[in-house]
């Protein structure tokens, strides 16, 4: 889909702009390597200006009633759904995921605007029963100020609205920096907010050089919080660079999700869910399965059933309705998947299916959906985030053993349990060191629940009543009284 010859990728104080340097960046369709368009591409200077404008817009935006702010979010939600098909096409064109997944993502993205349109009205303070007769203690919630939102390429719509919904609802003003590979979806979402009349300066967008924009956002004392989704490495850097001004952070970082298939699991269901988790977005989802531990008793039939289904998955351009496995985002992503497979095979793994680049005639970045068995804990694929369609399967014998294996990495985002036993649901959910546990469910992300990791997968919650509180300071007011 050709979006345009050249688009303005910078939106500051209600105006779409070119960068000062005149720099542009080509946006490439990862399925075909065709150029979709070029966008103006900024850096530090534009980001600092965006912060200034967001700061100027903050007093009036934060003083609006919650109901007034909520109205803008609700209108944007409706417009997103009205434009679902067009947004999904843009998303698939720049990111690659199959259209059906892109449509689901747009619905999910819109749902965060709806949820926070509602939650805006429920940010309560409190009056604390005082220990002194002549004192009253109040807690009042207040928007934290200007926030920066930095989003990744794998979910170019829902990662944006997960951050815009709660921050705008709380009364914050925003500088959004989308991933350089997928800015078009973010631009389309910002245009929706423009169309519904969001006041100028409340939401600003700077497509641009990550280093320059990142420097501006971390070095400016006016940015009070950075909400980031992406790699642990960049999260660590943002944390370090935010130390100077003691900025608040909300970090949703890498993961390495295990799926634990217990011997009492519903096998058919476990196979389908494993497949859905691993191969959604071609394995490029931070909560998707990176490793499977299956009980030895059922391992052979699990692998056999899974292999049959994986072999029948249709690889192709995401824009083709029949496609189930789309392209990977870029060449580096393909090389990382290939490197993990090579390393595993070198250390004794067996490829059941896949294990190589897909040689279609589309020209893009494809890797075949791959199943590996005979894997061990020393292999890269069992330790590093693959972010690709490679599924290593290891067997286990006891519950203690699998808990230890599941918890042995520094990541703690999502883990999944396949079991029919209530006892095991509690036993495992409590023992697994992860922020999100899916029990016979591999799509836990939803607007009404708190999503977020622990350990090196980050901190802070997106979604749920907790999500909006990231953007609120609870100010304590102590009132002395004269009798």
Ligand X SMILES: O=C(O)CCCC(=O)O
Ligand Y SMILES: NC(=O)C1=CN([C@@H]2O[C@H](COP(=O)(O)OP(=O)(O)OC[C@H]3O[C@@H](n4cnc5c(N)ncnc54)[C@H](OP(=O)(O)O)[C@@H]3O)[C@@H](O)[C@H]2O)C=CC1
For residue 260, list its beta bridge partners: 293, 417
CA atoms within 13 A on the CB side of 335: 3
For residue 141, list its beta bridge partners: 474
Residue 230 touches ligand Y, criterion: CB under 6 A: yes
- Partner in contact with 94, chosen from ligand Y, ligand X, none, beta carbon below 5 to 8 Å by kind: none
Residue 211 touches ligand Y, criterion: CB under 6 A: yes
Parallel, antiparallel, or unpaired: how do β-strands 411-412 and 454-455 relate?
A: antiparallel
Q: Which of 147, 179, 206, 239 binds ligand Y (CB under 6 A)?
A: 179
Parallel, antiparallel, or unpaired: how do β-strands 248-252 and 223-229 relate?
A: parallel
* Interface of this chain with ligand Y, residues 373 to 392, rule: CB under 6 A: 385, 387
- Contacts of 90-93 with CB under 8 Å at 24 or more apart are 90/1, 90/3, 90/184, 90/185, 90/188, 91/156, 91/157, 91/182, 91/185, 92/1, 92/318, 92/319, 92/326, 93/1, 93/3, 93/29, 93/36, 93/184, 93/319
Cβ-based neighbour number of residue 68 at 10 Å: 11
Q: Which of 231, 353, 383, 421 binds ligand Y (CB under 6 A)?
A: 231
Residue 459 touches ligand X, criterion: CB under 6 A: no
Place of tokens 């071609």: 282
Cβ-based neighbour number of residue 186 at 10 Å: 27
Residue 452 touches ligand Y, criterion: CB under 6 A: no
Contact 371, 344 (CB under 8 A): no
Residue 229 touches ligand Y, criterion: CB under 6 A: yes
For the bound state, the minimum distance from the C-beta of residue 195 to ligand X, rounded and expressed in Å, comes to 25
Q: Which of 48, 149, 273, 286 binds ligand Y (CB under 6 A)?
A: 286
* Interface of this chain with ligand X, residues 100 to 159, rule: CB under 6 A: 108, 154-155, 158
Exposed, middle or buried by CB within 10 Å (0-12, 13-18, 19+), for 296? Answer: exposed
Angle, CA of 121, 106 and 17, to the nearest 5°: 85
Q: Which of 286, 298, 344, 391 binds ligand X (CB under 6 A)?
A: 286
Residue 95 touches ligand Y, criterion: CB under 6 A: no
For the bound state, the minimum distance from the C-beta of residue 445 to ligand X, rounded and expressed in Å, comes to 4
Q: Which of 9, 152, 435, 467 binds ligand Y (CB under 6 A)?
A: 152
Q: Which of 24, 110, 184, 287 binds ligand X (CB under 6 A)?
A: 287
* Interface of this chain with ligand Y, residues 253 to 282, rule: CB under 6 A: 253-254
Residue 187 touches ligand Y, criterion: CB under 6 A: no
For the bound state, the minimum distance from the C-beta of residue 248 to ligand Y, rounded and expressed in Å, comes to 16
Residue 158 touches ligand Y, criterion: CB under 6 A: no
Q: Which of 225, 234, 257, 406 binds ligand Y (CB under 6 A)?
A: 234
Cβ-based neighbour number of residue 399 at 10 Å: 16
Q: 386, 305, 390, 394: which is closest to 354 by C-alpha?
A: 390
Q: Look at residue 198 and give its three-state secondary structure.
A: coil
- Partner in contact with 283, chosen from ligand X, ligand Y, none, beta carbon below 5 to 8 Å by kind: none
Residue 445 touches ligand X, criterion: CB under 6 A: yes
Residue 206 touches ligand Y, criterion: CB under 6 A: no
Exposed, middle or buried by CB within 10 Å (0-12, 13-18, 19+), for 306? Answer: buried
- Partner in contact with 254, chosen from ligand X, ligand Y, none, beta carbon below 5 to 8 Å by kind: ligand Y
- Residues in contact with 60: Cβ distance below 8 Å, sequence separation at least 6, in sequence order: 199
Distance CA 238, CA 95 (A): 25
Q: Give yes or no: 252 in active site.
A: yes
Distance CA 397, CA 195 (A): 58
Q: Which of 41, 112, 116, 153 binds ligand Y (CB under 6 A)?
A: 153
Find the length of the chain. Answer: 483
Residue 39 touches ligand X, criterion: CB under 6 A: no
Residue 202 DSSP code = S
Q: Which of 29, 83, 185, 285 binds ligand X (CB under 6 A)?
A: 285
Q: Please give the helix or strand (H or E) that residue 163 lies within, else none.
A: helix 158-170
- Partner in contact with 445, chosen from ligand X, ligand Y, none, beta carbon below 5 to 8 Å by kind: ligand X
Full DSSP string of 222-250:
TEEEEEEES-HHHHHHHHHHTTTTT-EEE
Q: Give yes or no: 286 in active site.
A: yes
Q: Which of 18, 78, 237, 343 binds ligand Y (CB under 6 A)?
A: 237
Distance CA 337, CA 328 (A): 10
- CB nearer ligand X, residue 105 or residue 394: 105
Which span sits near ligand X by CB under 6 A: 58-66, 113-121, 258-266, 285-293?
285-293
- CB nearer ligand Y, residue 108 or residue 181: 181
The binding site for ligand X (CB under 6 A) comprises: 108, 154-155, 158, 285-287, 443, 445
Write out the catalytic residue numbers. 252, 286
The binding site for ligand Y (CB under 6 A) comprises: 150-154, 177, 179-181, 210-211, 214, 229-231, 234, 237-238, 252-254, 286, 385, 387
């Amino acid at each position: 889909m050709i979006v345009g010859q050249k688009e303005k990728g910078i939106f500051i104080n209600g105006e779409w702009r070119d960068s000062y340097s005149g720099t542009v960046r080509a946006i490439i369709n990862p399925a075909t390597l065709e150029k979709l368009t070029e966008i103006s591409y900024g850096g530090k200077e534009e980001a600092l200006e965006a912060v200034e404008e967001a700061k100027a817009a903050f007093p009036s935006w934060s003083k609006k009633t919650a109901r007034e702010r909520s109205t803008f979010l609700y209108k944007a939600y409706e417009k997103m759904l009205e434009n679902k098909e067009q947004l999904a096409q843009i998303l698939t064109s720049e990111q690659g995921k199959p259209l059906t997944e892109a449509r689901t993502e747009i619905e999910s993205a819109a749902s965060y605007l709806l949820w926070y349109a509602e939650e805006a009205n429920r940010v309560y303070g409190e009056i604390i029963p005082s220990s002194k007769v002549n004192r009253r203690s109040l807690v009042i919630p207040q928007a934290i100020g200007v926030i920066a939102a930095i989003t990744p390429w794998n979910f170019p719509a829902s990662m944006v609205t997960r951050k815009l919904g709660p921050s705008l609802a709380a009364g914050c003003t925003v500088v959004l920096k989308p991933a350089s590979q997928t800015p078009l979806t973010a631009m389309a979402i910002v245009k929706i907010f423009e169309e519904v009349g969001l006041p100028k300066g409340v939401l600003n967008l700077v497509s641009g050089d990550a280093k320059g924009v990142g420097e501006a956002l971390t070095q400016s004392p006016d940015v009070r919080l950075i909400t980031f989704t992406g790699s642990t490495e960049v999260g660590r850097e943002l944390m370090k660079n935010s130390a100077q001004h003691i900025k608040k952070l909300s970090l949703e970082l890498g993961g390495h999700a295990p799926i634990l298939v217990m011997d009492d699991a519903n096998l058919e269901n476990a196979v389908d869910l494993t497949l859905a988790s691993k191969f959604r977005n071609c394995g490029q989802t931070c909560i998707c399965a990176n490793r499977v531990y299956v009980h030895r008793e059922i391992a052979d039939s699990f692998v056999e059933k899974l292999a049959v289904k994986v072999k029948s998955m249709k690889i192709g351009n995401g824009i083709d309705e029949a496609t189930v496995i789309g392209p990977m985002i870029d060449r580096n992503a393909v090389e990382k998947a290939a490197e993990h497979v090579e390393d595993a095979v070198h250390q004794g793994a067996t490829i059941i299916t896949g294990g190589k680049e897909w040689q279609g005639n589309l020209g893009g970045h494809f890797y075949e959906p791959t199943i590996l068995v005979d894997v061990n804990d020393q292999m890269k694929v069992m330790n590093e985030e693959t972010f690709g369609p490679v599924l290593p399967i290891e067997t286990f014998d006891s519950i203690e053993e699998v808990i230890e294996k599941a918890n042995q990495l520094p990541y703690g985002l999502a883990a999944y349990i396949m079991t029919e036993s209530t006892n095991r649901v509690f036993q495992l959910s409590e023992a697994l060191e992860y922020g999100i546990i899916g029990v016979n469910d591999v799509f836990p992300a939803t607007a009404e629940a708190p999503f977020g990791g622990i350990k090196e997968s980050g901190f802070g919650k997106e979604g749920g009543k907790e999500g909006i509180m990231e953007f609120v300071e609870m100010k304590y007011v102590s009132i002395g009284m004269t009798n």
